[in-house]
DNA sequence: GTCTATATTTGGATAGAC
DNA sequence: GTCTATCCAAATATAGAC
C-alpha cells in the first residue's frame, strides 16, 4: 500500500538523501532510483533530468526548513537572541545535512544552470528570512546604523556555506572559524550598550572607513 | 621541441585549467589529456588516478600563489593595510580562477579523501599566511585583544570560499556579502582608535558575551 | 504510471607496441 | 615515456511492453 502519485515524493526524498550522504557526484539516476525503491526510468518520466529532480528535491526541502523555523525567528527581539536562534537553527540544519546539500548544489551550480537556479532559490529563502529579522530587530539599534541588513544577511549565508565546506575538509579549522563569528557578534552586541556620544564617534569613524573600503571593492562588480 | 619530463607539468596545468573553467565534474582523464595535448593514459602512468593529478595541480598552484603574495603580506603594518592587501590578493586570485578551483575541490573533498587532503592543504597555506600577519600586526593592538588570530584566519578563509560559491550562483548577493565584510573590518579598525577606558569597557563586555557564545557553540564540536 | 530492455556515450584504467 | 587499442563499468536517456 504505497505506490500512487507519491512516487514523485519518494524520488524527491531519495534524491535529497543521496546528495546528502554521498555527494552530488554520486547522485546518479540509478543511485537515486534504488534509494527510492523505484526504477530509474521514472526519474526521466517525472522530472525530465536528474538535475531537475535534484532541484525539486532541494526546493521542497528548503521551503519546509524555512517554514519550520519561521516562528522561532519571528519571536526574536534582539541581536543577542538572533545569535542564539540563528546558531540553534544552523546547528540543527547542519545535523540534518541540509547545509551540506546546499553546499553541494552551490558547487555544482557554478557550471550547471539548473543547479544554479536551485542554489539561488535555497540561499535566497534563507537570506530573506534572516534579513527580515535584521530589519525588524537590529536596524533600529545603534549597531543597525553601522550595518546593512541585505549585506549582512548575504554574508551570513555565505559564511555558513563556507564553514560547512571547511568542516568537511578540516573540522578543527571550521571550529576556529565558527568561534570567530561569535566574537564578532559579541562585539556588535557590545556596541548596542554604548552611550550616544560613543555611538556618534563610532558612526563617523566607520563611515570614513566604509567609503574607503567600498572604493576598494568596486573593481570586482558582479561580473558573471 | 617540448615533450620531455615536463609532460607532468603540462598535465598539472591542464588539470588545473579544466577544473577552473569547466568544474570538477567535467575534469575527466580524457578532457585533461586533450587539454594538455597528450594521451589520457599518461595521467594514470604519472599520477595514478585523476584525483591525484588534480591534487598535484592544486598543490603546485596554491604554493606558487602564496609565494607570489608573501612579500606583499610581509610589508603590512596595520589592520587597514591588511584589509587593503587582502582585498587586492583576493580580487586577483578570484580573477585567476584560483578561488573557484579551491571551492570545487572543497566540495568534492566532502566525499573524497584525496580531494579533501588537497583542499586542506590549500586552505591551510592561505590560513597560515593570514594568521601570521594577524599575529604580527593585529595581536598587539586593542582589536587584537578581542580576536584570536587562528579563529579569524579560518573565518576569513571560509568566508572567501562561501562568497565565491555565492558569486557563481547569485552575483548580486555575493556583492552584498562582500560589502558586509568591509563594514565589519571598518568597525574593528575603529576600535583601534579608542582610548584606554573605552577599550577596557569593550573588553569586559565582549568577554562576557564571548563566553556565552562559546557555550552555545560547544554542542557542535568537530565531529567528522 | 511503472517496469524491462536497450541504445548510446562517457569515464577509469590497463596491456602491449613502439 | 608515450601512444594505440581496448576492456569494463556506469551514466543518461528512450522505446515499448504491461
Q: How far apart are CA B164 and CA B167, in angstroms?
A: 5
- Overall domain count for chain B: 1
Asked if residues B187 and A185 have their Cβ atoms less than 8 Å apart, the reply is no
Taking Cα atoms as reference points, which of A87, A106, A97, A95 lies closest to residue A181? A87
Residue B33 belongs to a domain: no
Chosen for mutation from A109, A113, A183, A188 (greatest number of chain B CBs closer than 10 Å) is A183
Of A123, A171, A179, the CB nearest to B214: A179
Residue A186 has pLDDT above 80, yes or no: no
B183, B207, B221: best to mutate for the A interface, most A CBs within 10 A = B183
Containing domain of residue B59, as a range?
A: 55-216
CA of B96 to C1' of C13 (A): 32
pTM for this predicted structure: 0.92
Is position B41 within any domain? Answer: no
Contact between A65 and A123 under an 8 Å Cβ cutoff? The reply is no
Q: Which of A136, A141, A135, A151 is nearest to A203 (CA)?
A: A141
Restricting to A residues 99-158, those with a Cβ less than 8 Å away from any Cβ of B are 100, 103-104, 106-112, 116, 119-120, 123-124, 127, 146-148, 150-155, 157-158
Closest by CA to A141, choosing from A85, A87, A190, A197, is A190
Question: What's the rounded Cα separation, in Å, for the pair A102 and A124?
Answer: 12
**Is nucleic acid strand C under 7 Å from A27's C-beta?**
no
Distance, in angstroms, between B133 CA and closest chain A CA?
17
A79 Cβ nearer than 7 Å to chain C strand: no
Q: Which of A58, A79, A166, A202 to mutate to test the interface with B (most CBs of B within 10 A)?
A: A166
Torsion sign, CA atoms B206, B208, B209, B214: positive
CA–C1' gap, B3 and C18, in angstroms: 16
| CB-based contact A155:A131 (threshold 8 Å) | no
User: Averaged over B19-40, what is the pLDDT?
Assistant: 98
Name, in order, each residue with C-beta under 8 angstroms of B121's C-beta and a sequence gap of 6 or more. B58, B59, B62
pLDDT for the residue B205: 63
Instruction: Quote the cell numbers at residue B130.
Output: 593570514
Among partner residues B24, B87, B120, which is closest to A216 by beta-carbon distance? Answer: B87
- At B221, the pLDDT band (50, 70, 90 cuts) reads very low
Yes or no: say if A23 and B110 are a contact pair by the CB < 8 Å rule.
Answer: yes
H helices, E strands: number in chain B: 11, 0
d(Cα A180, Cα A174) in Å, to the nearest integer? Answer: 10
Residues 20 to 79 of B: which have CB under 8 A from any A CB? 22-26
B181 vs B187: CA distance, rounded Å: 10
* B175 occurs within a structural domain: yes
Residue B71 near residue B36 (C-beta atoms within 8 A): no
Angle at B180 between CA B175 and CA B183, to 5 degrees: 135
Give residue B143's pLDDT. 78
What pLDDT, on a 0 to 100 scale, did the predictor assign at position B223? 43
CB contact under 8 A, A180 and B94: no
The Cα of B160 is separated from the nearest Cα of chain A by a number of Å equal to 7
Place of cell 594577524: B134
**Which comes out higher in pLDDT, residue A117 or B217?**
A117
**Mean pLDDT, rounded, of chain A:** 88
Q: Say whether residue B211 is in contact with chain A using an 8 A CB cutoff.
A: no
Q: Does residue B205 sit within a domain?
A: yes
Q: Is the pLDDT of residue A201 over 80?
A: no
Q: Are A152 and A134 in contact (CB under 8 A)?
A: yes
The answer to whether the CB atoms of A162 and B167 lie below 8 A apart is: no
Q: Does B10 fall in a domain?
A: no
Which of B176, B210, B213 lies at the smallest CB-CB distance from A154? B176
pLDDT tens, residue by residue, B59-104: 999 999 999 999 999 999 988 888 889 989 999 999 999 999 999 9
> How many CB contacts within 8 angstroms connect chain A with chain B?
298
pLDDT of residue A137: 93
Are A107 and B109 a contacting pair at CB < 8 A?
no
Place of cell 549585506: A151
Question: What is residue B28's three-state secondary structure?
Answer: coil
Cβ-Cβ contacts under 8 Å, B173 against chain A: 120, 123-124, 127, 154, 157
Residue at the smallest CA–C1' distance to nucleotide D12? A29
A133 pLDDT band (50/70/90 cuts)? very high
Residue A188: is its pLDDT beyond 50? yes
List all nucleotides in chain D with at least one atom under 7 A from a protein Cβ.
1-5, 10-16
Asked if B206 and A186 come within 8 Å (Cβ–Cβ), the reply is yes
3-state secondary structure of A27: coil
**Per-residue pLDDT for B207 more than 90?**
no
Q: If you measure CA to C1', which residue is closest to nucleotide C15?
A: B41
Task: Return the residue of A nearest to B174 by Cα.
Answer: A154
Instruction: Measure the CA–CA gap between B64 and B9, rounded to whole angstroms.
Output: 14
Cα A109 to Cα A119: distance, rounded to the nearest angstrom: 7
Q: Please list, in sequence order, all residues whose beta carbon lies within 8 angstroms of the beta carbon of residue B208, skipping any fewer than 6 positions away.
A: none
pLDDT of A177 strictly over 90:
yes
Residue B161 has its nearest CB partner, among A162, A209, A220, at A162
Confidence (pLDDT) at B1: 44
Tell me the C-alpha distance between A116 and A104, whole Å: 11
**Is there a contact between A127 and B173 if contact means CB atoms under 8 Å apart?**
yes
Residue B32 within a domain: no
pLDDT digits (tens, 9 = 90+) for A41-96: 999 999 999 999 999 999 999 999 999 999 999 999 988 888 889 989 999 999 99
Q: Residue A120 sits in a domain of what CATH number?
A: 1.10.357
In a domain, A6, yes or no: no
Residue B21 covered by a domain: no
Nearest Cα neighbor of B152 from B72, B86, B106 is B86
Decide if A32 contacts A10 (C-beta within 8 A).
no
**B131 has pLDDT over 70:** yes
Nearest CA in chain B to A82: B213
Amino acid at each position: 500500500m504505497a505506490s500512487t502519485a507519491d512516487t514523485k515524493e519518494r524520488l524527491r526524498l531519495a534524491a535529497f538523501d543521496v546528495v546528502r550522504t554521498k555527494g552530488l557526484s554520486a547522485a546518479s539516476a540509478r543511485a537515486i532510483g534504488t534509494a527510492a525503491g523505484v526504477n530509474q526510468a521514472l526519474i526521466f518520466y517525472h522530472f525530465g533530468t536528474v538535475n531537475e529532480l535534484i532541484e525539486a528535491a532541494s526546493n521542497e526541502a528548503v521551503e519546509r526548513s524555512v517554514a519550520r523555523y519561521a516562528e522561532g525567528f519571528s519571536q526574536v527581539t534582539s541581536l543577542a537572541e538572533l545569535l542564539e536562534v540563528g546558531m540553534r537553527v544552523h546547528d540543527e540544519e547542519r545535523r540534518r545535512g541540509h547545509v551540506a546539500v546546499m553546499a553541494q548544489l552551490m558547487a555544482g551550480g557554478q557550471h550547471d544552470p539548473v543547479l544554479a537556479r536551485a542554489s539561488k532559490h535555497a540561499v535566497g529563502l534563507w537570506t530573506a528570512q534572516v534579513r527580515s529579522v535584521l530589519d525588524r530587530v537590529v536596524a533600529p539599534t545603534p549597531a543597525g546604523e553601522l550595518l546593512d541588513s541585505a549585506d549582512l544577511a548575504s554574508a551570513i549565508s555565505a559564511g555558513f556555506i563556507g564553514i560547512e565546506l571547511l568542516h568537511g575538509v578540516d573540522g578543527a579549522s571550521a571550529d576556529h572559524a565558527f568561534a570567530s563569528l561569535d566574537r564578532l557578534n559579541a562585539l556588535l552586541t557590545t556596541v548596542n550598550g554604548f552611550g550616544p556620544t560613543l555611538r556618534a564617534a563610532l558612526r563617523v569613524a566607520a563611515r570614513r572607513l566604509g567609503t574607503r573600503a567600498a572604493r576598494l571593492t568596486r573593481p570586482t562588480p558582479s561580473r558573471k
